[in-house]
Chains A and B, each alone.
Chain A
Amino acid sequence: MTPQEPILSFRIFSLRRRGRVRGLPGHAGLRLFAYLLTALVLVPLVAVIVIAMGSSEGVWPHLVSTVLPRSVRITLLLMAGVAVLSSTMGVVSAWLVTHFAFPGRRILEVALVLPFAMPLYIVAFAYIEFLDFTGPLQSAIRAIGGYTSVREYWSPDVHNLPGAALIMSSVLYPYVYMTTRLLFLMQSVTALQVAQTLGCSRFSSFFRIAVPLARPAIAIGVTLCLMETLNDIGAVDFLGIRTLTFSVYDTWLNRGSLAGAAQIATVMVGFVVLLIVAERAARGRQRYQVARAERGGQFRMELNGWRAAGAAFLCAVPPLLGMGIPAFVLIGYALRRLPAFAEPELLAAAWHSVTVAAATGTITVIAGLVLAYCARLAAGRLEHVALKVALIGYAVPGTVLALGILMPLARLDNAVDAFMRSTFDLPTGLLITGSAAAIVYACSVRFLAVAQGTVEAGLAKITSHLDMAARTLGRTAQQTLIDVHLPLMKKALGAAFLLVFVDSLKELSATLLLRPFNYDTLATLVYSRASRAAYGDAAVPALLIVLVGLIPVIMLLRSAAPPLPQQRGELP
């Protein structure tokens, strides 16, 4: 067992080539399976492009002259804000918990991951309630100052770009924190010790050594944050930020041009691809090699006094913003409705959420494993391209992706029905469309990127000598995967499963569009209640999403903790 598996490093465009076994004969069946998977991921994306090729009914002149200049600027500013804030929160806190010892460090190390369980739209709504005139903050200001009208005093407002960037970052930074923390844990202490010998303080070694070395991990985390920012509609709608995604929905619903909307969405995806390529190009041909860390705790510098307090404070702020305040608001509402937690409707929705999330987790882990393993074996480029395709689904606005799933699926169902009718006189109706299977499909396409990155990183950790040894002993590619790799990758697979599980639990827009009759998930319950302004009632399912999501998030962190000394040294 390698001492530290990079469980959470989404290996999206990492440059590591160490674990690749070029030229070993692959397994035809396995390869076929990989191609099939890639095709399944591509179907909805192609469908979106097909929709985009329809007539835009003359929406573009209007878009170009009035909408796009504004919304592109706002989107770029928002993304820049989120990139700066989420990487600052994620990297600083990861640095502090890995390199220093201070009171509360162990608790904060876990707490920093918790906002990952919070759906963005719920946090945005909770903030509005919290900072509102009737919320606790303004009520306190009024009580202290004796004011009666909001015009008499100042209070923070989040209905603006900085506010939106801060709120979104405080929920999204765990992506950066998780990837970077692991990298810091693995970073060679020796490098830092050398730096100190050369007169570099701990503080300046952060900027000069640790951060530059952690760049791939930071880039991956920030990219995921930005893709979430780009495809979000719930939070920006609540906060009144008119991003490109907002224009996608306007164009479709108010100006009646789905094709025009799909065209904007396609351009947005192109945007993301550019972003990824740009980051890669900037990194050039640098190679990042991670040396094994010595026992983690030993190099943590003890902090005392105000320094310790400062570190604890810096680590406490992000989870407080991303989790503490929103949870406070939700609990406030939920406490008035305790009997609602036992409603059969809610329990059924919770069961649906958990089953959809678990099914999605299982499917994406298997798919991610097959794709990553085929790429490991492949000599050609095709498999590696296939590996990257999976990413795109993550950047497409949820409802647009859902339409891309709905249309081909319904067509397939109708074709099957026509065939069965004409051949066997046996109408089958819609088999997949409007069933929970369609939801699982949508979530799988969306979150495959997350599972695959994690699985790929785990696989890359396994030395290729093991493959060769197994193959020399007569195992096929498939047997090697099952007998050798799977047991070594338990942790990475588990982590991938848990990440996708939490993400699927929060998923709203595809679920809302694709679900069958009388079928609610926790997320759709939240939406339907919030959309008729019954926020209090929405708080109960919202809190349940958070509670259900917390369990895997905590498991995730514990499984990604640095292993104990006796676990080490069993394999080279």
Chain B
Amino acid sequence: MHVPFRRNRALRAFLLAGALGALSLPPAAAQEAGEVNIYSYRQPELIAPITEAFEKQTGIKVNTVFLSKGLEERIQAEGANSPADVIMTVDIGRLQRAEDVGITQQVEDEALQDAIPQQYRDPDGNWFGLTTRSRVVFASKDRVEQDEITYEELADPKWKGRICIRSGQHDYNIGLIASMIAHHGEEATEEWLRGLKNNLARRPDGNDRAQAKAIFSGECDLAIGNTYYVGVMATNEKEPEQKQWAEAIKVLFPNNADRGAHVNISGMAMAKNAPHPQNALKFMQFAASEEAQALYAEKNFEYPVKEGVPASDLVGSWGEINPDELPLSKIAEYRKTASELVDKVGFDEGPSS
């Protein structure tokens, strides 16, 4: 049976590549000494500056794996043999959840306690904040006169059809809504959320950057977003047109005159079964050091938690932040209710009219 089959050789090469690939699969986990393994919810590019500086300073090799959904479940499933030493993540909800499902361990270390203010770490040392980020209001420089605003005001009908926001189910919005519940109770928050929904210019979608862009495009006058997105746009050298988007908006820190702007944290925790606890502690201490705090905050346009370490010049240029003193544990506590409210008012369906 001879079928002229020219693709045959190429196919055979593919199959061979498959076999070779299967053989060359890397071993399960690098577990030699002189290493520290990080499971990170933060993108590799964002933590690279501090892991590289740490490697240079200590000679300890940092292995990272960037994970999204399921980071906690993976460590849980890996159990006693989990290679994870340090967990790096964003959002108090995730840090609290890591503690709740039992994948963290308590770390009692004076250096860490001195570096990180009490409100930004777990009292038992299960997790430590590294940076804070604020959920602020972006306003059009041309179309919005006022330079002060409150979250409550966003439900005022005067903004009808003028506000943009990403999905209400996103971690960042859940955090903000949870803080509203903590301050005003569930009922008042539901009403506020309805008001905000009716003021939206369009159905919630995209990320925070897309909301800022919508101000530039004239689609909305106010947008709710995290501070650092402005930084990312303002410093984009490859797509310089994004600098224009950043220039069209001004950053308003809500409730600056009263309780302060809602802040959330990014943070770290030591994994329960960390195979290299010594190195993990060294890494955590380094991450809380002045050098790493400055590096990390600079790269991410966030605020360092360590007192005395300034934010980057660009972040500073947006003005002074007055962070809401509400304990972060409250935000974690009301997350589920917040998520339910978002569904209940049909927030993601957008404005009704």
Q: Check B167 for interface membership: any CB of A closer than 8 A.
A: yes
List chain B residues, Cβ under 8 A from A148. 218
Known interface pairs A66-B343, A134-B213, A134-B241; A354-B21 also in contact (CB < 8 Å) = yes
List chain A residues, Cβ under 8 A from B218. 133, 148-152
Q: Which of B169, B171, B241, B348 has the most CB of A within 10 A?
A: B169
B336 and A253 contacting across the interface, CB-CB below 8 Å: no
List chain B residues, Cβ under 8 A from A361. 14-15, 18
Least Cβ–Cβ distance between B275 and chain A, in angstroms: 9
B73 and A258 contacting across the interface, CB-CB below 8 Å: yes
CA of A360 to CA of B169 in the docked complex: distance in angstroms? 35
List chain B residues, Cβ under 8 A from A509. 69
Known interface pairs A487-B1, A532-B43; A406-B22 also in contact (CB < 8 Å) = no
A358 and B15 contacting across the interface, CB-CB below 8 Å: yes
List chain B residues, Cβ under 8 A from A358. 14-15, 17-18, 21
Q: Check A512 for interface membership: any CB of B closer than 8 A.
A: yes
A533 and B22 contacting across the interface, CB-CB below 8 Å: no
List chain B residues, Cβ under 8 A from A533. 207-209, 229, 232
List chain A residues, Cβ under 8 A from B37. 517
Which residues of A (393-449) have their CB < 8 Å from a CB of B? 399, 402-403, 406-407, 410-411, 413-414, 417, 427, 429-437, 440
Q: Please pick, from B7, B24, B169, the residue contacting A254 in the complex, using a CB distance under 8 A.
A: B169
List chain A residues, Cβ under 8 A from B5. 490-491, 559
List chain A residues, Cβ under 8 A from B17. 354-355, 358
Least Cβ–Cβ distance between B215 and chain A, in angstroms: 10
Q: Check B308 for interface membership: any CB of A closer than 8 A.
A: no
A242 and B239 contacting across the interface, CB-CB below 8 Å: no
Q: B215-236 vs A: 1/0 string, CB under 8 Å?
A: 0111100000000010010001
Q: Check A50 for interface membership: any CB of B closer than 8 A.
A: no
List chain B residues, Cβ under 8 A from A427. 81
A488 and B81 contacting across the interface, CB-CB below 8 Å: no
List chain B residues, Cβ under 8 A from A102. none
Q: B165-188 vs A: 1/0 string, CB under 8 Å?
A: 001010100100000000000000
A429 and B22 contacting across the interface, CB-CB below 8 Å: no
A362 and B15 contacting across the interface, CB-CB below 8 Å: yes
Known interface pairs A518-B64, A533-B232; A254-B335 also in contact (CB < 8 Å) = yes
A531 and B3 contacting across the interface, CB-CB below 8 Å: no
Chain B residue at minimal CB-CB distance from A440: B22
A531 and B78 contacting across the interface, CB-CB below 8 Å: no
CA of A256 to CA of B99 in the docked complex: distance in angstroms? 13
Least Cβ–Cβ distance between B101 and chain A, in angstroms: 9
A254 and B29 contacting across the interface, CB-CB below 8 Å: no
Known interface pairs A354-B21, A487-B1; A519-B65 also in contact (CB < 8 Å) = yes
List chain A residues, Cβ under 8 A from B19. 359, 362
List chain B residues, Cβ under 8 A from A501. 14
Least Cβ–Cβ distance between A52 and chain B, in angstroms: 14
Chain A residue at minimal CB-CB distance from B16: A358
Known interface pairs A239-B205, A434-B78, A558-B7; A132-B213 also in contact (CB < 8 Å) = yes
Interface stretch of the complex, out of A76-84, A311-319, A521-529: A521-529
Least Cβ–Cβ distance between B243 and chain A, in angstroms: 12
List chain B residues, Cβ under 8 A from A524. 66
B213 and A133 contacting across the interface, CB-CB below 8 Å: yes
List chain B residues, Cβ under 8 A from A433. 28, 77-78
List chain A residues, Cβ under 8 A from B11. 490, 494, 497-498, 555
CA of A534 to CA of B78 in the docked complex: distance in angstroms? 32
Chain A residue at minimal CB-CB distance from B337: A255
B28 and A159 contacting across the interface, CB-CB below 8 Å: no
CA of A410 to CA of B81 in the docked complex: distance in angstroms? 9
B45 and A532 contacting across the interface, CB-CB below 8 Å: yes
Q: Which of A160, A238, A358, A407 has the most CB of B within 10 A?
A: A358
Known interface pairs A403-B70, A414-B80, A497-B11; A149-B217 also in contact (CB < 8 Å) = yes
Q: Check A191 for interface membership: any CB of B closer than 8 A.
A: no
Q: Check B46 for interface membership: any CB of A closer than 8 A.
A: yes
B167 and A240 contacting across the interface, CB-CB below 8 Å: yes
Q: A150-161 vs B: 1/0 string, CB under 8 Å?
A: 111000000110
A238 and B28 contacting across the interface, CB-CB below 8 Å: no
**Residue tally, chain A, CB below 8 Å to B:** 95
Which residues of B (6-39) have their CB < 8 Å from a CB of A? 7-8, 10-11, 14-15, 17-22, 24-31, 37
Q: Which of B20, B205, B346 has the most CB of A within 10 A?
A: B205
A430 and B83 contacting across the interface, CB-CB below 8 Å: yes
CA of A417 to CA of B28 in the docked complex: distance in angstroms? 13
Q: Check A469 for interface membership: any CB of B closer than 8 A.
A: no
Q: B331-353 vs A: 1/0 string, CB under 8 Å?
A: 00001101110011010110000
Least Cβ–Cβ distance between A307 and chain B, in angstroms: 34
A430 and B74 contacting across the interface, CB-CB below 8 Å: no
Known interface pairs A1-B1, A440-B22; A252-B217 also in contact (CB < 8 Å) = no
Chain A residue at minimal CB-CB distance from B336: A255
Q: Check B202 for interface membership: any CB of A closer than 8 A.
A: yes
Chain B residue at minimal CB-CB distance from A439: B25
List chain B residues, Cβ under 8 A from A532. 43, 45-46, 232
Chain B residue at minimal CB-CB distance from A151: B218
Which residues of A (344-388) have their CB < 8 Å from a CB of B? 354-356, 358-363
B81 and A402 contacting across the interface, CB-CB below 8 Å: no
Chain B residue at minimal CB-CB distance from A340: B238
CA of A477 to CA of B68 in the docked complex: distance in angstroms? 47
CA of A374 to CA of B204 in the docked complex: distance in angstroms? 51
List chain A residues, Cβ under 8 A from B74. 406, 434, 513
Chain A residue at minimal CB-CB distance from B24: A355
Which residues of A (55-74) have their CB < 8 Å from a CB of B? 62, 66-67, 70
Known interface pairs A240-B206, A254-B169, A533-B207; A517-B29 also in contact (CB < 8 Å) = yes
CA of A402 to CA of B71 in the docked complex: distance in angstroms? 12
CA of A149 to CA of B83 in the docked complex: distance in angstroms? 53
Least Cβ–Cβ distance between A35 and chain B, in angstroms: 23
Q: Check B259 for interface membership: any CB of A closer than 8 A.
A: no
CA of A490 to CA of B14 in the docked complex: distance in angstroms? 14
Which residues of A (245-273) have their CB < 8 Å from a CB of B? 246, 249-250, 252-256, 258
List chain B residues, Cβ under 8 A from A497. 11, 14-15
CA of A70 to CA of B209 in the docked complex: distance in angstroms? 27
Chain A residue at minimal CB-CB distance from B242: A134
Q: Please pick, from A62, A356, A414, the residue contacting B343 in the complex, using a CB distance under 8 A.
A: A62
Q: A558-572 vs B: 1/0 string, CB under 8 Å?
A: 110000000100100
A517 and B65 contacting across the interface, CB-CB below 8 Å: yes
Least Cβ–Cβ distance between A272 and chain B, in angstroms: 22
Q: Check A322 for interface membership: any CB of B closer than 8 A.
A: no
Q: Check A506 for interface membership: any CB of B closer than 8 A.
A: no
Q: Which of A160, A250, A519 has the most CB of B within 10 A?
A: A250
Subset of 10 A-B contacts with CB under 8 Å:
A62-B343, A148-B218, A150-B218, A238-B206, A240-B206, A362-B19, A406-B77, A524-B66, A527-B68, A528-B45
Please give 10 more A-B residue pairs, beta carbons under 8 A apart, in addition to A512-B67, A512-B69, A517-B29.
A66-B340, A254-B174, A359-B19, A402-B70, A429-B83, A430-B81, A488-B1, A537-B238, A555-B11, A567-B4
